[in-house]
A and B are shown apart, each in its own frame.
Chain A
């Protein structure tokens, strides 16, 4: 089922009763979630992700705009007839019911010609339990389950009535790190097996990047960028998106474009074509640094952290806008890095230019400085 949000806006009255100003949680949202995809709604906390999810589920009514499931306008429909499955951040399993009773609960609500016999309900519940691999836990109560198991029960409960859309609110945030990795693979598998269009909310970019077919980056109620995870990472439209995606985060420098070159400090690090002269903000991905003696960018060396496959070089530069610069290099190229300073060449594809004031991407053709010198 395709989901379309059209100019969706949700305003809440301000908490401060005296001010008439409204809090805009979701601002003029328009995008389309393709059928059968797993979509990650990503953004810092308080950016309106959960509100967007609630608007899709019908728990909140939009102030303006429409929500479509397929071609059907569901904006004015209450949640129960929309056919959505919702998994809450704290799972909201009913503590006084067993796992089986929890999973059966949505089925027992069905009325009219959708009504099922006891055998049909049990069969469906067992299927859902099998899908999330909790078959042997059916007689337990939620309090007797681990966080990961509770999570699975919550997903089974959401899936058992075969929803048109599955919505997950921060599904992994209550799990420990190891379980989170495991569960996110599980989520991916379940989504693939059922083929249900799934939207999940997260503030963890790694989580979103790793399992989503498509990510939607939000900031304070505004859609910043959407697309394939790798595309958004490689081609951010503004500094916020560039900063939000990637671990370790992108390194940001104050730079300048002049004479067809990009300067950080006094060093000409890349050649630029297609950008006007002036100050720019330069973002360089950690993997965009190639250590080379006499390289284009010289930094003060703070520490070299060896982490097996990769090595992380922590260094400083007067023009850096972060507290420190972190470059990820392969462990083989680590040799030769030492002393007080370190020099790098930059991979042009990992360097992005942004406006200093509006922070929007400046699209320009970047090439290594030598090529121009040779031309």
Chain B
């Protein structure tokens, strides 16, 4: 995957070739060794596992070669649930977190007093452990025999019915997971977007102001296009990150995610390897490659769109 390393090979015409090429490879050797050993080899291995049917890791034997692993995974209701959960998570959290981050960054950019303080406060969740944040969310949302949890108390205050967010209906659990994910990814996005906003030169705004441009028009015609490369960066990495979500769900719902109906694709892979129902590296490999295919496709689409839209 890291073919970019290949591109850094010197290709100058000034000094003719072989010796220089050899030297370049020599310099690259440590990186190639490490990457080959820890990245390329495992990747190839995963690919092989995914086509070996009935593979047994203890005896290192398998029954045959074929696509059964894929077909099993694609027909496994747990996997389908995990795919559904992951997609919901991606579709909700990426736009919501990016949009929220943009709003907050715009706010941070427009205040003058205590700007640094606010920036620090908004960045704090980034340096907080996700499991610790998960615990806090549990306290906020979990129903126990003694209390309904903070959020339910609030809902009750406004006359609503209390909801079990951790062990209750699927939509409630999904809501908590999305809320949690947005909360966790927000600080980084705010950081990126505040610096992107700050890097837009004041002259552009002054020019627009002299020409009588309305605030909304300044935002859509100047600010947004100017920071669009950063927004695309955040959307692409956001998609990838959300597709790979796992620890967030564990932090909220514990390790038995299948039972909670809250599993993600990565969670499914993990369960297939080490979970209670685990010990099936072939299924895990097939699921991992399916995830890879999904992420790859989405990223290619994203890049294609961003190339067309972010023009300069």
Residues of A within 8 A of B (CB): 57-59, 78-81, 84-86, 88, 90, 92, 94-96, 105-106, 109-110, 141, 143, 157, 161
Contacts and interface: CB of A to CB of B under 8 A. Distances in A.
A318 B311 CA distance: 64
Contact of A80 (B210, B222, B311): B210
Nearest to A84: B210
The 8 closest A-B pairs by CB, nearest first: A80-B212, A106-B211, A92-B203, A96-B225, A92-B207, A86-B210, A109-B212, A79-B210
Contacts of A96: 225-226, 228, 311-312
B71 interface: no
A131 to B, nearest CB: 18
Contacts of A161: 211
B206 interface: yes
Nearest to B209: A79
B206 A92 contact: yes
A80 B207 contact: no
Given A94-B204, A96-B225, A96-B226, A57 B212 contact: no
A88 B210 CA distance: 11
B120 interface: no
B84 to A, nearest CB: 38
B145 interface: no
A177 B131 CA distance: 63
Contacts of A95: 226, 312
Contacts of B217: 109
Given A80-B210, A88-B207, A105-B208, 9 more contacts: A59-B209, A86-B210, A90-B203, A92-B203, A92-B204, A94-B221, A96-B311, A96-B312, A141-B312
Interface of B: 201, 203-204, 206-214, 217, 221-222, 225-226, 228, 311-312
Contacts of A59: 206, 209-210
SS of B interface (majority): helix
A64 B208 CA distance: 26
Contacts of A109: 211-214, 217
Contacts of A90: 201, 203
B208 to A, nearest CB: 8
A57 B208 CA distance: 12
A58 B209 CA distance: 10
B211 A80 contact: yes
Contact of A94 (B206, B209, B222, B228): B222
A51 to B, nearest CB: 13
A80 B209 contact: yes
A141 to B, nearest CB: 7
Nearest to A90: B203
Contacts of B212: 79-81, 106, 109-110
A86 B226 contact: no
Contacts of B203: 88, 90, 92
Nearest to B225: A96
A170 to B, nearest CB: 12
Nearest to B201: A92
Nearest to A87: B207
B206 A86 contact: yes
B312 A86 contact: no
Contacts of B312: 95-96, 141, 143
29 contacts: A57-B210, A59-B209, A59-B210, A79-B209, A79-B210, A80-B210, A80-B211, A80-B212, A80-B213, A85-B210, A88-B206, A90-B203, A92-B201, A92-B204, A92-B207, A94-B204, A94-B221, A96-B225, A96-B228, A96-B311, A105-B211, A105-B213, A106-B211, A109-B211, A109-B212, A109-B214, A109-B217, A141-B311, A143-B312
A79 B311 CA distance: 30
Contacts of B213: 80, 105, 109
A223 B216 CA distance: 40
Contacts of B208: 105
A123 B50 CA distance: 65
A81 B221 CA distance: 20
B215 to A, nearest CB: 11
A96 B310 CA distance: 8
Nearest to B202: A92
A96 B204 CA distance: 12
Contacts of B228: 96
Contacts of A81: 212
A58 B225 CA distance: 26
Contacts of A157: 207, 211
Nearest to A83: B212
A85 B207 CA distance: 9
B226 to A, nearest CB: 7
A90 B207 CA distance: 11
Contacts of A92: 201, 203-204, 206-207
Contacts of B221: 94, 105
A157 B206 CA distance: 14
